[in-house]
Structure 1
């Protein structure tokens, strides 16, 4: 990974972007793609689109990742100064207690999600409280003290930093899916460097974690797109605590994961597999029998049927503060996206032969 690209990744991971509050992260993303895109624009809710203008007679391909991360939101300030919270997206109640958090008020406020000490609990009665039953302690003595710093509706995220692990691996919160937005930005940069014939959009969507909402907006607005490629994380199931019946063929460091089934259009699947083979990129396959669980589920039905594909990044410990990815996988995904865009002209039209 080149130095500027790594700095861009670090900046994305350091910038909080809970669903509905993605603007700071979207600014980081937009600033980076302005260095090589022909145009960058944003809609009313903060979906950002960058474009490489290709041949008008060539197909148009959109590469999309979602900018938002899971988190919490302040729903009440209690008389004793503690904050009651609710979920933003699929926050995991089993990993939240005892964690450092940041309340993203007008000025960031540090806090912790309280956990009763083990000495004061009955182990036989230990349960995982629902998020709505948990609380944030910012150190305030009463409600007035708390309200001087925070208010209802402020978003909250874990305060985990990005840490380098052994080899080429990193751990951070919000890997899902700032790594995907990184990959589509880098895919666009590499496609533009090749001067591919296709017109290529790179899109950083909002509010995926709360119902693919940004993708629904973009799927309608980009009415000239011939194919969407949704880039997201997927479960690497090679860690020892994954039950055997949930284990699949996806391994960390094994390369990009190409989806098959459901929204994944067979012509785009073939294009991605051929592009990987021709570029000597190791790729993995993943079955999607019912849905992909990504923005592709919104894109492919946006305008009566738009060919779509999922390309995924293997990720351990999804929706926790310590998600782990391999930087080699990220680079390989970006390379695959550029190769896919380069081959789109020969693969079009993207249609099933009936």
Structure 2
């Protein structure tokens, strides 16, 4: 893919509506983007599995993974006033939610604009001004004046999904994307670009790409795709939270324009050290920048896939600032470097190399 195609791919994926459990628009965009590279099937959870053209069924299987869903909200009920009570899909910091512009997909499949309602300061007590807002106390306003209007005219009721309203932009001068859902739409786009890079390459492995769903609510889709694919090795492409705006340089392990983050540990996962070092050595050989990270929080699909059969698994993280909020930044150069590294890994892997990652001698 050339740079213009990469930019449009990322923007398309970022703008797609797809909170956990409602990923259909993202999956459609993915299916269309990979149509020339393999055969894609979609299951009842909306997990999409792409079997790369040229797979033989006789070589080790490498599973690529990225997740389709974004953190979002879900209508729980409509209040008598017409305001909408909601719950979260994925991890939100409550202070990031008030006054956020949102889009609700109603029961008819229409997209309705709204806003997370906030009380004007004129009406707040001193205690209210200093209180930490709670999700359970918040409401969304779509301009309705009654419960009946919200349900009947706007078509919004229990179970309707919600995402932030954000239009992805690309700053060509600085090589930066500004948009929503780069966790993990940037990884999904990178997986598509990787398939494009290796579609006609002479590989020594079979490749199956899994665009999994419901990662933000418990890695659920990847548990399913791992059992279907039964890989011998896995590479997870994940938008990972950048720490360069709030950590000192010596502790910053995921920085913008610093290349992909190779994750050694998080709360769900400890990486296979041989595979991790193989990836790091290859990045060094190719002069690709990267960081290594030991995290005390977070989790990702590497746990769901790697712990299914104990296969060697690494996580190639693309740095994203301000994950799990409405507005994110991510760098085109980090996207491109991640694609280059994963593409090179697929071209280097073979049965003997994969077997070496399980050796204890």
TM-score (norm 2): 0.91
The size of the alignment, in residue pairs, is: 348
Paired residues of 2:47 and 2:221 also in contact (CA < 8 A) = yes
Deviation at 1:21, TM superposition (A): 0.3
Per the alignment, residue 158 of structure 2 pairs with 152
Deviations 1:314-354 (A, max 9, x none): 11111111111101101111111110111111622131325
Secondary structure of 1:90's counterpart equals: coil
Distance 1:36 1:11 in 2: 19
Paired residues of 1:267 and 1:347 also in contact (CA < 8 A) = no
Per the alignment, residue 69 of structure 1 pairs with 70
Per the alignment, residue 120 of structure 1 pairs with 123
Per the alignment, residue 163 of structure 1 pairs with 169
Where in structure 2 are the equivalents of 1:45-124 lying within 5 Å?
A: 45-52=45-52, 53-54=54-55, 56-105=57-106, 106-123=109-126
Paired residues of 1:255 and 1:328 also in contact (CA < 8 A) = yes
Per the alignment, residue 265 of structure 1 pairs with 272
Of 282, 298, 301 in structure 1, the residue corresponding to residue 304 of structure 2 is: 298
Of 182, 194, 202 in structure 2, the residue corresponding to residue 175 of structure 1 is: 182
Distance 1:267 1:57 in 2: 24
Paired residues of 2:288 and 2:341 also in contact (CA < 8 A) = yes
Where in structure 2 are the equivalents of 1:154-233 lying within 5 Å?
A: 154-165=160-171, 167-223=174-230, 225-233=231-239
Distance 1:72 1:298 in 2: 24
Deviation at 1:195, TM superposition (A): 3.2
Per the alignment, residue 307 of structure 1 pairs with 312
Distance 2:157 2:82 in 1: 11
Change (3 A) 1:118 1:247: farther
Deviation at 1:230, TM superposition (A): 1.2
Change (3 A) 1:9 1:114: same
Paired residues of 1:55 and 1:197 also in contact (CA < 8 A) = no
Paired residues of 1:72 and 1:91 also in contact (CA < 8 A) = no
Distance 2:303 2:250 in 1: 22
TM-score (norm 1): 0.93
Question: Which range moves more in the overlay, 88-97 or 46-55?
Answer: 46-55
Per the alignment, residue 322 of structure 1 pairs with 327
Deviation at 1:141, TM superposition (A): 1.3
Of 248, 251, 258 in structure 1, the residue corresponding to residue 255 of structure 2 is: 251
Tell me whether 1:348 sits opposite 2:354 in the alignment.
yes
Deviations 1:116-165 (A, max 9, x none): 12233245542232212100001111111100221110001110111234
